[in-house]
C-alpha cells in the first residue's frame, strides 16, 4: 500500500507544530481550527501514531510528533528557500557553455551580448579551461573543444566548426616599420611568436612556402593563443594564428595581415552537446546563433584580407609582387 498522503495534512501538521496551536496554524493557512485538527487527525489515523497531546485548548507534541516535525521542518525550509530564489530569477533558462580559454576570450565573449539580446529568456554561463568536460551529469550544456575530432561518448553529438585560415599577423607599426614586412622572406628580420597549443605552427607554414628558411629555434613560446596575440599587438613580433581569434584586433587595426588572407586552412574546434539535449530551445538557439556568427566572421575576414592586400599593392607594388613569387 502506498504511504503517500495529502500535502494539506502535512502542511497543517507543520504549522501546528511550529506554532504550538491549531488556532494560530488555522490563521496562517486561512482555514478554520477544526480543518487543521481534521487534517492532523487524518495523519494520526493513517499511521496509527499520536502526534499531539490535546490538553484543554493547548496542543503539545508527542515524542513521535516532535521527531516528525524536526524532519519535515527541514523540508519546508528548503521549499521556502527555493521559492524565494525562484522569485529572484528573471530568466527562464540557464545555458552553461564550456570553451577553451583563447576562443572564449578572443571570440565568444565579445559576441555573447548579441546572443543575450536575441534570447532575453536565456542566461548564459561561460566557463573556460582546456580540461575535458563530461556532459552526462548535465552540469554543462555545450562543450566547445579544441583539436582534432575525437570519438565521444555515444550519447554526445559532435559538430565540427567551419574551417579556419591561419596566417601571419603583426602590428601595423611592425609591418610598416624600419624593416617593413611585405613578403615571406622579410620575416627573417623579425621575431617569430610561437603558439604551442595551435594545431599549425611556423614549421608547417614554412613548408607551404618553398625557398623560405626561418629560424624556428628562436622566439617566445606560449601555451595560449591569446598570449601570442597580445604580444603581437604590442609589436614584439609576428604570430601565426587563426583569423577567427583575431577578428577584434583586425577590426580595430591593432593587427594586420602582411601577406593578406592567404594562409593554411585548418579545422580546429568542435561543438559538443548531449543528443538528448540538442533540441532543447536554449541549446538549439545557441547552436544556430553560434554557427551563423562563425560564417559572418569568416566572410568578414575574407573581405578585410582582400582590402589589406590591395592597400599593400598600392603602397609597395614591387615588394608585393616579390611576395607573390615567394609563395609560388
What does the pLDDT read at residue 115? 96
**Considering only the top CATH level, what class is 92-328?**
alpha beta
Which residues, listed in sequence order, are joined to residue 75 by a DSSP beta bridge?
Answer: none
Q: 38 Cβ partners below 8 Å, 6+ apart? A: none
For 226-259, write each residue's pLDDT tens digit.
Answer: 999 999 999 999 999 999 999 999 999 999 999 9
State pTM to two decimals: 0.66
Check if the beta carbon of residue 293 is closer than 8 Å to that of residue 271: no
What does the pLDDT read at residue 319? 47
What does the pLDDT read at residue 291? 96
- 19 phi/psi in degrees, rounded to 5: -100, -5
What does the pLDDT read at residue 322? 45
The DSSP symbol for 162 reads P
Query: Is domain 7-88 annotated with CATH 1.10.10.10?
Result: yes
What does the pLDDT read at residue 87? 60
What does the pLDDT read at residue 79? 86
Average pLDDT for residues 64-71, to the nearest whole number? 94
Percentage of residues of the chain with pLDDT beyond 90:
64
Q: Please, where in the chain does CATH 1.10.10.10 lie?
A: 7-88
CA distances to 45, 87, 137, 266, 296 from 92, in Å? 42, 11, 20, 38, 29
d(CA 131, CA 128): 9
d(CA 327, CA 152): 39
d(CA 44, CA 248): 70
- What average pLDDT is seen over the chain? 87
Among the listed residues 241, 249, 188, 185, the one whose alpha carbon sits nearest the alpha carbon of residue 216: 188
Residue bearing the bigger pLDDT, 306 or 120? 120
User: Confidence class of residue 313 from pLDDT cuts 50, 70 and 90?
Assistant: low
Q: Please, where in the chain does CATH 3.40.190.290 lie?
A: 92-328
What does the pLDDT read at residue 83? 77
User: Confidence class of residue 268 from pLDDT cuts 50, 70 and 90?
Assistant: confident
What does the pLDDT read at residue 189? 84
For 83-128, write each residue's pLDDT tens digit.
Answer: 777 665 555 789 999 999 999 999 999 999 999 999 998 999 999 9
What does the pLDDT read at residue 1? 38
What does the pLDDT read at residue 304? 62
Amino acid at each position: 500500500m502506498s504511504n503517500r498522503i495529502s500535502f494539506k495534512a502535512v502542511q497543517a501538521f507543520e504549522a501546528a507544530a511550529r506554532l504550538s496551536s491549531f488556532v494560530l496554524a488555522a490563521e496562517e493557512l486561512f482555514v478554520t481550527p477544526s480543518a487543521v485538527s481534521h487534517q492532523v487527525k487524518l495523519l494520526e489515523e493513517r499511521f496509527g501514531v499520536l502526534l499531539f497531546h490535546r490538553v484543554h485548548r493547548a496542543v503539545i507534541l508527542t515524542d513521535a510528533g516532535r521527531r516528525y516535525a524536526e524532519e519535515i521542518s527541514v523540508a519546508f525550509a528548503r521549499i521556502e528557500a527555493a521559492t524565494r530564489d525562484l522569485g529572484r530569477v528573471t530568466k527562464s533558462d540557464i545555458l552553461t557553455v564550456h570553451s577553451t580559454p583563447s576562443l572564449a576570450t578572443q571570440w565568444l565573449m565579445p559576441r555573447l551580448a548579441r546572443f543575450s539580446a536575441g534570447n532575453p529568456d536565456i542566461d548564459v554561463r561561460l566557463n573556460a579551461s582546456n580540461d575535458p568536460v563530461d556532459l552526462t551529469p548535465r552540469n554543462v550544456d555545450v562543450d566547445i573543444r579544441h583539436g582534432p575530432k575525437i570519438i565521444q561518448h555515444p550519447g554526445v553529438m559532435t559538430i565540427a566548426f567551419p574551417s579556419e585560415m591561419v596566417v601571419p599577423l603583426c602590428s601595423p607599426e611592425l609591418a610598416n616599420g624600419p624593416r617593413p614586412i611585405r613578403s615571406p622572406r622579410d620575416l627573417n628580420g623579425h621575431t617569430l611568436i610561437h603558439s604551442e597549443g595551435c594545431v599549425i605552427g611556423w614549421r608547417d607554414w614554412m613548408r607551404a612556402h618553398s625557398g623560405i628558411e626561418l629560424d624556428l629555434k628562436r622566439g617566445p613560446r606560449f601555451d595560449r593563443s591569446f598570449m601570442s596575440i597580445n604580444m603581437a599587438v604590442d609589436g614584439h613580433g609576428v604570430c601565426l594564428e587563426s583569423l577567427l581569434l583575431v577578428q577584434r584586433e583586425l577590426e580595430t587595426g591593432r593587427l594586420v595581415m602582411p601577406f593578406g588572407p592567404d594562409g593554411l586552412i585548418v579545422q580546429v574546434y568542435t561543438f559538443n552537446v548531449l543528443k538528448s539535449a540538442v533540441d532543447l530551445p536554449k541549446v538549439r538557439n545557441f547552436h544556430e546563433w553560434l554557427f551563423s556568427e562563425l560564417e559572418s566572421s569568416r566572410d568578414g575576414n575574407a573581405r578585410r584580407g582582400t582590402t589589406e592586400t590591395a592597400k599593400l599593392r598600392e603602397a609597395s607594388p614591387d615588394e608585393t609582387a616579390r611576395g607573390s613569387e615567394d609563395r609560388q
